[in-house]
């Protein structure tokens, strides 16, 4: 009984430490006081100011465009890569999987500087460099999302489709890909979240055009003091990311139940 109480208390303390700052931001997003920790009365003024600020609106639009485009491209490339990796020999598959982990394990600052140096020789910066950079960091996560589902597929389905007269391309897109859609959606949502959350790579690769995402805009404006509207923006970002994570978990549970039913 005592151990159970201590375990629950420990979990509660960890959750409190993790989420207390977020709850604080959400609470103070409903006051217009510019003083940190100050309360000037309940108001939706920060949210109104947020949607009236053209620069913040442009940063939000840039962020969404980059996140959506990057997620789509990363999902397409990651799914095809996962299919290709799954058909490699064991040694080659192990090597490629190891290489795929490098962008995941590598420090963001190292990846950002490498991309910056690379792009500086070819492209000045802007949407192109940001999208390529985000695709690079998102694709490995899509591969990791799709690979487990591929392992669960019947390996004879593809061969059966070929025996029935389908071309390799048709067999892939008509037989294999439809069965990977749940994991592809999970990978796309994860890629969207990662792109939405990225700061370091975006800051280094936004180019001389000065294209701002939400994270870079907030960082570059901190020197002039934190606008209370950023509290509202942070709250909305948290709610969006929370909704995406809930959708990913629901999708994963549905896929697991479906797979369990098929196995039975």
Which pLDDT value is given to residue 106?
A: 82
Q: Is the pLDDT of residue 208 over 70?
A: no
Please tell me the number of Cα atoms within 13 Å of 83 on its side-chain side.
Answer: 20
Contacts of 141 (CB under 8 A, 6+ apart): 74, 78, 104, 187, 190, 191, 194
Dump pLDDT digits (tens) for 220-248.
Answer: 777 776 777 888 888 888 888 788 778 77
Higher pLDDT, 121 or 64: 64
**What mean pLDDT is reported for the chain?**
83
Confidence of residue 67 (pLDDT cuts 50, 70, 90): very high
CATH class entry, domain 54-263: mainly alpha
Q: 239-248: b or e for each residue (b if 16 or more CB lie within 10 Å)?
A: eeeeebeeeb
Q: Where are the domains of the chain?
A: 54-263
Which ranges in the chain belong to alpha helices (H)? 2-28, 45-52, 54-86, 90-105, 108-119, 127-152, 156-163, 168-171, 177-197, 200-205, 214-221, 229-263
Dump pLDDT digits (tens) for 69-115.
Answer: 999 999 999 999 988 888 888 888 888 888 888 888 888 888 888 88
Picking from 47-51, 132-136, 255-259, which range would have the lowest pLDDT averaged per residue? 255-259
């Amino acid at each position: 009984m005592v151990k159970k109480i201590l375990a629950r208390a420990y979990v509660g303390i960890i959750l409190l430490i993790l989420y207390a700052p977020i709850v604080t931001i959400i609470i103070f997003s409903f006051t217009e006081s510019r003083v940190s920790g100050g309360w000037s009365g309940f108001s939706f003024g920060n949210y109104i100011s947020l949607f009236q600020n053209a620069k913040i609106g442009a940063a939000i639009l840039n962020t969404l465009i980059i996140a959506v485009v990057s997620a789509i491209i990363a999902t397409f490339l990651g799914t095809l890569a996962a299919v290709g990796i799954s058909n490699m020999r064991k040694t080659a598959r192990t090597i490629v999987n190891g290489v795929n982990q490098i962008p995941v394990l590598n420090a963001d600052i190292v990846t950002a500087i490498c991309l910056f140096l690379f792009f500086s020789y070819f492209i000045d910066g802007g949407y192109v460099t940001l999208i390529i950079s985000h695709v690079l960091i998102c694709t490995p996560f899509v591969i990791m999302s799709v690979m487990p589902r591929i392992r669960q597929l019947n390996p004879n389905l593809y061969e059966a489709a070929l025996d029935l007269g389908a071309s390799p391309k048709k067999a892939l897109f008509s037989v294999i890909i439809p069965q990977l859609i749940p994991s592809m959606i999970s990978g796309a949502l994860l890629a969207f979240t990662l792109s939405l959350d990225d700061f370091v790579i975006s800051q280094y690769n936004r180019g001389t055009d000065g294209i701002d995402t939400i994270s870079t805009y907030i960082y570059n404006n901190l020197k002039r003091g934190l606008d209370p509207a950023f509290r509202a923006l942070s709250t909305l970002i948290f709610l969006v990311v929370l909704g995406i994570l809930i959708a990913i978990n629901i999708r994963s549970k549905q896929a697991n139940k479906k797979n369990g039913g098929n196995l039975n």
